[in-house]
Amino acid sequence: MELRLCIDCNGDSRCRISSWKESDDRMMEATRVESNGVQAGSPRPPAARKKVVIVGGGFAGINAAIQLGNQPVDVTLIDRRNHHTFQPLLYQVALAVLSPAEIAQPIRSILRRFPNIEVIMDEVTGFDLSARAVQLKSSGSLSYDDLILATGATHSYFGKDAWEQGAPGLKTIEDAIEIRRRVLLAFELAERQKFETGTHPPLNFVVIGGGPTGVELAGAISDIARVYMRKDFRHIETAKARVILLEGSPRILNAYPEDLARKAQETLTGLGVEVHPHTQVSDVQAGYVIANGERIDTVVTLWAAGVQASPLGKLLGLTVDKRGCVLVDAFLHPAGHAEIFVCGDLAHVEENGRQVPGVAQPAIQMGSYAGQQILAAMHGKGLRPFHYFDKGDMATIGRQSAIANIVWPFHAHWSGFPAWMAWLVVHIYFLIGFRNRIMVLMQWAWTYLTFTRGARLITGSMVLPGWAELSATSLEASSNASSELQISELEISRESYKE
Ligand SMILES: Cc1cc2nc3c(=O)[nH]c(=O)nc-3n(C[C@H](O)[C@H](O)[C@H](O)COP(=O)(O)OP(=O)(O)OC[C@H]3O[C@@H](n4cnc5c(N)ncnc54)[C@H](O)[C@@H]3O)c2cc1C
């Protein structure tokens, strides 16, 4: 009975390849080539412990893993990225307050204290439910006894995927860096054009979608233009930038109580944001959008209008709702699959006839629940249904205002600075990693006190989609205006000569 050592782990007892017996040598070689170290349906060591596969290292996946840490189960967490992103602070990266590293943390470093958890960076591309295996992009597959599926949500352009080029959405660190690039580049290009030609296209920033993300983005762009960059440029007046928030329904922040949504709109208006409810966007192109049939020229358009579940939900082949979320029962199982838990934004969970919202707290609670239920079942304990403990919602509006719909420990509607302080405390508390908490607090304090913003770096391409056309139009308009001016000056001088 000889053990083979895996070349990657050099014999770590938890490595599945290292624990192969000699008789499995040939298959091991084949599967090593096939799957780079992870495989489905292959022989397992005799005293195999329960295998739990978690797909997704977001709020739900990480919390499920933490529950299972240091427990008698073998856990593999798969994520297509190597880091967990704290999405509620993404807009702070997009608008150059925070750096990406301050809101993201490598998944393996979050989980390194748990020897029974391994982390694989790969993308799950499908399932074999009867073989209890997930398929991986790297061409292998991985078997499980229990599966926790938590791959979250993504943007929805309502079938108009081509709009993404003109209006990026905000979901990942890459999205945030792209938005930062476009917003900062717009100011730089305007400064250069004003310096060279004396004119520049109107600095219109359009945000489509008046939910929390749209409101946060609009407030933050207004802050950048009116507060933080006002003194940085010599030729353009950044404070004259227009920030236009378009919302299709009668009001912004539909998921919030009406009084808080009204307060938010007043605050946005105070920040100079033009809020347009009842406005349907029918086209998005680089350089302009069509809203209620009218064209709005725009240097940067951002999409915050729709989300849909991760495509993996549909790939399960089970029942999904119209956004692609998997319908699950009170135990987070899809019908007929007690070995699968679907958690977070990917799950359609109903409680008291209402769908549990797709935000961070339910995802955290569902992930923890799934981990606890797997352990309870191992100990032969009965299952209790999932219950969402709703503590409330918050959204920021600009640098020192927010709204908070507090449900626990007391009921209250807060707005303005107190709500912003509450938002700050909650977000620092839930941010993963002590270093990140300290860094973010320091950055905020610095930004708040000095009116300067940190990570204002433009990286990547120096081309802004639509800028060339907008710039040509503004130059033409300016040269027409100057020739009209010259003609009228000439006419005035002729008149005065006659006199
Ligand atoms: C800009 C923004 C701001 C937000 N602000 C707030 C807020 O203020 N408060 C709040 O409560 N909520 C907020 N949310 C919502 C909140 O972030 C989500 O509800 C939460 O992240 C959902 O957690 P999750 O674990 O279900 O999914 P996610 O956190 O999205 O994690 C999913 C993970 O799955 C991985 N993944 C996806 N597909 C695959 C695949 N095929 N294979 C392998 N891995 C895969 C992804 O890389 C990701 O790591 C915000 C969201 C965004 C985008």
Residue pLDDT, tens place only, 240-255: 999 999 999 999 999 9
Question: Per-residue pLDDT averaged across 281-298, rounded?
Answer: 97
Is residue 37's pLDDT more than 50? no
Ligand 1 nearest-atom number relative to CA 358: 19
Sequence-distant contacts of 266-272: CB under 8 A, at least 24 apart: 267/219, 267/397, 267/398, 267/401, 267/415, 267/416, 268/215, 268/218, 268/219, 268/222, 268/397, 268/398, 271/219, 271/222, 271/223, 271/226, 271/243, 271/397, 271/398, 272/222, 272/226, 272/239, 272/242, 272/243
211 Cβ below 6 A of ligand 1: no
* Cα 397 to ligand 1 centre (Å): 21
Give the mean model confidence (pLDDT) for residues 108-114.
Answer: 97
Pocket test for ligand 1, best of 83, 151, 430 (most atoms within 8 A of CB): 151
pLDDT over 70 at 364, yes or no: yes
DSSP three-state, residue 276: strand
**Distance between CA 140 and CA 216 in Å, rounded?**
41
> How far is residue 317's CA from residue 326's CA, in Å, rounded to a whole number?
10
Decide: 179 in ligand 1 pocket, CB within 6 A: no
Mean pLDDT value of segment 250-268: 97
Query: Would you state the pLDDT for residue 433?
Result: 73
**359 CA to centre of ligand 1 in angstroms:** 8
390 lines ligand 1 (CB under 6 A): no
Q: Measured from the CB, is residue 148 less than 6 Å from ligand 1?
A: no
Instruction: Give, to the nearest 10 degrees, the angle between helix 258-270 and helix 212-223.
Output: 20
State if residue 57 touches ligand 1 by the CB under 6 angstroms criterion: yes
Mean pLDDT of the chain: 88
Tell me the range of 39-53, 111-125, 480-494 where mean pLDDT is highest: 111-125
Nearest residue (CA) to ligand 1, atom 52: 87
Question: Does 358 sit in the ligand 1 pocket, CB within 6 Å?
Answer: yes
Which domains does the chain carry?
Answer: 3-35 (no CATH), 50-80+122-156+308-390 (3.50.50.60), 161-304+400-475 (3.50.50.60)
pLDDT, position 62: 98
Protein residue with least CA distance to atom 51, ligand 1? 87
What percent of the chain stands above pLDDT 70?
Answer: 86
Question: What's the pLDDT at 13?
Answer: 41
Query: How many A from CA of 79 to the centre of ligand 1?
Result: 12
- Among the ranges given (77-81, 187-191, 474-478, 486-490), the one the predictor scored with the smallest mean pLDDT: 486-490
Q: Is 63 in the pocket of ligand 1 (CB under 6 A)?
A: no
pLDDT band at 30 (very low <50, low <70, confident <90, very high): very low
CA of 324 to the centre of ligand 1 (A): 15
Mean pLDDT of 156-182: 96
Residue 105 near ligand 1, beta carbon < 6 Å:
no
Does position 34 have pLDDT exceeding 60, yes or no?
A: no
Answer yes or no: is pLDDT of 383 > 90: no
- Separation of CA 281 and ligand 1 centre (Å): 26
pLDDT of res. 429: 86
Cα 429 to Cα 321, 410, 425, 432: the distances in Å are 33, 19, 6, 8
Chain segment 55-100, per-residue pLDDT in tens? 999 999 999 999 999 999 999 999 999 999 999 999 999 988 888 9
Which of 359, 423, 427, 431 best tests ligand 1's pocket when mutated (most atoms within 8 Å of CB)? 359
* Residues annotated catalytic, as ranges: 216
For 374, phi and psi rounded to 5 degrees? -65, -45
pLDDT, one tens digit per residue, over 445-483 is 777 777 666 678 899 999 999 999 999 999 998 878 766
Percent share of the chain, pLDDT over 90:
74
Q: How far is the CA of 343 from the centre of ligand 1 (A)?
A: 11
**Quick check: bond before 357 cis, omega within 30?**
no
Ligand 1 neighbourhood includes 59 CB (under 6 angstroms): yes
Q: Which atom of ligand 1 lies closest to the CA of 362?
A: 19
- pLDDT at residue 455, rounded to an integer: 77
Mutate to test the pocket of ligand 1, among 59, 62, 87 (most ligand atoms within 8 A of CB): 87
- Per-residue pLDDT of 390-431, as tens digits, reads 999 999 998 889 999 999 999 999 999 999 999 989 988 888
Q: Answer whether 314 contacts ligand 1 (Cβ < 6 A).
A: no
